[in-house]
């Protein structure tokens, strides 16, 4: 089969590789759509921390935001999966440690991460082998575009849950990439008053087309009490700003990661009696994301600004090919 293989920093190409086989407990999925995210770009450039921490190494196959159709079953897998449209959890825990047993498999010390950690091949390919336990079925009302946005949606939904909002609460989202915009969408669907901050006028204009009116550059932000602040940026300065802005006794949620260490003053955290929540992975939010997409309460599809073929994956990862539409997300169709 064809797969995009990254062989070193800023080096990668489509290669013919062995097609996956469904081992016991696994299925093979024919991939319909794959999203490219900032983590993939960091692996391509060589900046991703896992490369320097020993959790990942070249050559590697990226792609953890995906959907497709189950085409083969391994021994022990329920036959009802065959032919179903699915997406799946990126985080594959060992299944038996205390973290996995308690539902925290996303932080299992020995976990694999599809297309990210431990050498587990990703979905930038025509096919992907994945444990059946990681699968989630997609209803007909969630098409391939939305299906490949379930993984970032799960992250966003977990961030909104971490903010512990009540109807009418005011939430501020810093950084309007795909996840930041989805945080705004999920928070609005829950009845919150949503305000969004970014430094790009193009991004702010796009957010307005999604129906958001509280859209600001940081220097224009009104002095309002914020019941929750979500940092979905990659800026090392914004985590401290989130802490400064949030109301005492309320919550900040950190889901964005900067390329360099970011600092907050824990004295401020304590003296404001603020709860800080960190989010890693969408695992516990995937099912809820599918339900929300299926209901129509959140439609993620406008966030996709371009869809290209597998041969153009390198140009996307290198930043030579950017979305032609207003949305920030690029999808890849491995069949094209």
Same domain? 239 vs 203: yes
The CATH number of residue 224's host domain is 3.40.50.720
Assess whether 10 and 46 both reside in one domain.
yes
Q: What is the pLDDT of residue 259?
A: 79
- Asked if residue 313 and residue 177 are part of one domain, the reply reads no
Tokens matching residue 25: 């407990």
Instruction: Quote the pLDDT of residue 203.
Output: 95
Strand duo 275-278 + 127-131: pairing: unpaired
Residue 286 lies in a domain: no
Structure tokens belonging to residue 209: 């087309």
Provide the residue range defining the domain that includes 197. Answer: 153-278
- Calculate mean pLDDT across residues 2-24: 97
Q: What pLDDT score does 268 carry?
A: 97
Are 307 and 242 part of one and the same domain? no
In the predicted structure, residue 31 carries a pLDDT above the cut 90 = yes
pLDDT tens digits, 121-169 = 999 999 999 999 999 999 999 999 999 999 999 999 999 999 999 989 9
Indicate if 236 and 101 belong to the same structural domain.
Answer: no
- Position 131 in a domain: yes
Whether 142 is covered by a domain: the verdict is yes
Q: How confident is the model at residue 271 (pLDDT cuts 50, 70, 90)?
A: very high
The helix/strand/coil state of 31 is: strand
Flag whether 207 is in a domain. yes
Cis peptide before 59 (omega within 30 of 0): yes
> Residue 135 and residue 132: Cα distance in Å, rounded?
5
Provide the edge-to-edge strand list for the sheet that holds 170-174.
214-216, 193-197, 170-174, 226-231, 246-254, 275-278
- Same domain assignment for residues 23 and 42: yes
Average pLDDT over residues 170-178: 97
Domain count, the chain: 2
* Residues 158, 137 share a domain: no
- Mean pLDDT score of the chain: 96
Pair 183, 173: CB distance under 8 Å: yes
Asked if the model's pLDDT at residue 321 lies above 90, the reply is no
* Residue 258 clears pLDDT 90, i.e. is over it: no
Residue 47 forms part of a structural domain: yes
pLDDT class for 285, splitting at 50, 70, 90? very high
């Amino acid at each position: 089969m064809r797969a995009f293989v990254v062989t070193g920093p800023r080096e990668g190409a489509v290669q013919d590789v062995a097609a996956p086989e469904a081992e016991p407990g696994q299925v093979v999925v024919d991939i319909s759509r794959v999203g490219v995210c900032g983590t993939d770009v960091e692996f391509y450039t060589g900046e991703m921390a896992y490369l320097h921490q020993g959790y990942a190494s070249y050559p590697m196959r990226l792609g953890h935001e995906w959907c497709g159709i189950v085409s083969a079953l391994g021994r022990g897998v329920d036959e009802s999966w065959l032919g179903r449209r699915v997406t799946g959890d990126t985080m594959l825990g060992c299944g038996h440690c205390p973290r996995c047993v308690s539902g925290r498999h996303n932080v299992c010390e020995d976990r694999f991460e599809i297309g990210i950690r431990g050498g587990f091949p990703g979905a930038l390919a025509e096919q992907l082998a994945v444990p059946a336990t990681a699968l989630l079925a997609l209803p007909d009302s969630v098409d391939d575009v939305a299906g490949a946005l379930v993984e970032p949606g799960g992250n966003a939904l977990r961030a909104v849950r971490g903010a512990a909002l009540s109807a009418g609460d005011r939430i501020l989202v810093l950084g309007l990439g795909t996840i930041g915009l989805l945080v705004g969408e999920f928070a609005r669907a829950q009845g919150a008053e949503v305000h969004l901050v970014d430094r790009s006028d193009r991004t702010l204009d796009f957010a307005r087309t999604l129906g958001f009116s509280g859209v600001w550059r940081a220097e224009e932000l009104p002095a309002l009490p914020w019941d929750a602040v979500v940092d979905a940026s990659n800026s090392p300065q914004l985590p401290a700003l989130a802490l400064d802005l949030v109301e005492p006794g309320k919550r900040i949620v950190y889901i964005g990661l900067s390329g360099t260490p970011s600092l907050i003053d824990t004295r401020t955290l304590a003296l404001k009696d603020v709860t800080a929540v960190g989010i890693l992975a969408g695992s516990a939010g995937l099912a809820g994301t599918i339900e929300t997409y299926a209901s129509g309460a959140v439609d993620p599809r406008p966030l996709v600004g371009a869809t290209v073929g597998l041969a153009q994956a390198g140009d996307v990862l290198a930043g030579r090919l950017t979305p032609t539409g207003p949305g920030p997300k690029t999808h890849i169709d491995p069949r094209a």
